Amino acid sequence: MLCALLIFLLDSNAVSDCKPCEEFVRLQQQIRAESITKDSAMSAFKSIIAEIHAYFEQNHRGISTQKEWRFPLEGYTPQAVGENGRGYRVYGFDFFAKTRHNPHPAHDIFILDNNQDELDDRTNEPVRVLSISSGVVIEVKTEWSDTSRLRGGKYVWIYDTVSKRLFYYAHLRSVFVNLGDCLVSGTPIGEVGRTGFHAFKRRSPTHLHLMVLQLGKDDLPKPINPYKEMWKWKRK
């Protein structure tokens, strides 16, 4: 039991005051390990989301929850989205399945990095990733090695309690936020990188992998395509 707890803490960077966030991390691991049934996972997810709402209400300390969203890459526009948005493929996605990443219900947003050093070719600096919305950081992964088969690499999950959307930012070079942080839109959460099983390979241009999930009337997450919305998000 102690070993399992230590593995959980080391793998997820999950030490925080946000207990429902830790529960979300644990649920994610159970889904990947196929150690929980789908019905049990869905029930746990609903309970965790309700607790995260309560956590945000108690801890946002005046954070604005107005829907003033930001484009997630500093210095870039939606023109950087791969295939002009046509790379979004949702068929077969199931949040509660181990193989949920086999389809591509997400957008890859590419930076100018011809030599793949994770720096913008124009500025020779890393490109910051900004939180699209306000919300709670419900999972972070800050460690990754090129021997890992984890597809997301270093990543951040943020839940917006107003829109009831989950935002997944993956392949990060570095992560700036911690589990349980309550953020406003536009907060820097990390830098674009090349971490992750496929993103690390030379064939993959440097990019941010962005997935957005919407909670439905049943409070369960389903992917939505935010490409058209992106053109309305503020940029800086």
Binned at pLDDT 50, 70 and 90, residue 163 comes out as very high
Domain that holds residue 152: 1-236
Chain position carrying tokens 């979004």? 88
Q: Are 127 and 172 in contact (CB under 8 A)?
A: no
- Give the chain's domain count: 1
Greater pLDDT, 98 or 78: 78
Predicted local distance difference test score (pLDDT) of residue 100: 76
- How much is the mean pLDDT over the chain? 90
Tell me the range of 5-19, 48-62, 212-226 where mean pLDDT is highest: 212-226
What per-residue confidence (pLDDT) applies to 146? 84
Kindly report whether the global pTM for this prediction surpasses the value 0.95.
no
The pLDDT, as a whole number, for residue 15 is 52
pLDDT at 99: 79
For residue 180, give the CATH number of its domain.
2.70.70.10
pLDDT at 145: 87
What is the predicted pLDDT for the residue at 8?
Answer: 38
Read off the pLDDT of residues 173-213 as tens digits, 9 standing for 90 and up: 999 999 999 999 999 999 999 999 889 899 999 999 999 99
Q: Based on C-alpha coordinates, what's the Rg of the chain? A: 17
Q: What is the DSSP letter of 83?
A: G
In terms of pLDDT, which residue wins out, 57 or 79? Answer: 79
* pLDDT of 63 over the 80 cut: no
Query: What are the CA-CA distances from residue 208 to residues 68, 72, 159, 195, 224 (Å)?
Result: 21, 9, 18, 10, 17
pLDDT band, residue 23 (cuts 50/70/90): very high
Per-residue model confidence (pLDDT) at position 66: 62
Distance (Å, whole) CA 168 – CA 155: 7
Which pLDDT score is estimated for 64? 67
How far is it, in rounded angstroms, from Cα 97 to Cα 37?
Answer: 10
Other residues' Cβ atoms within 10 Å of the Cβ of residue 149:
7
Instruction: Return d(Cα 173, Cα 203) in angstroms, integer.
Output: 17
* Res 11: pLDDT: 47
1 band by pLDDT with thresholds 50, 70 and 90: very low
Cβ proximity of 171 and 9 under 8 Å: no
Higher pLDDT, 98 or 107: 107
Residue ranges of alpha helices (H) inside 34-106 are 38-59
The contacts of residue 51 (CB under 8 Å, 6+ apart) are: 19, 20, 23
12 pLDDT higher than 60: no
With a cut of 60, say whether residue 6 has pLDDT above it: no
Q: What is the rounded CA–CA span in Å between residue 193 and residue 170? A: 9
Asked if the model's pLDDT at residue 53 lies above 70, the reply is: yes
Nearest alpha carbon to residue 151 among 161, 160, 141: 141
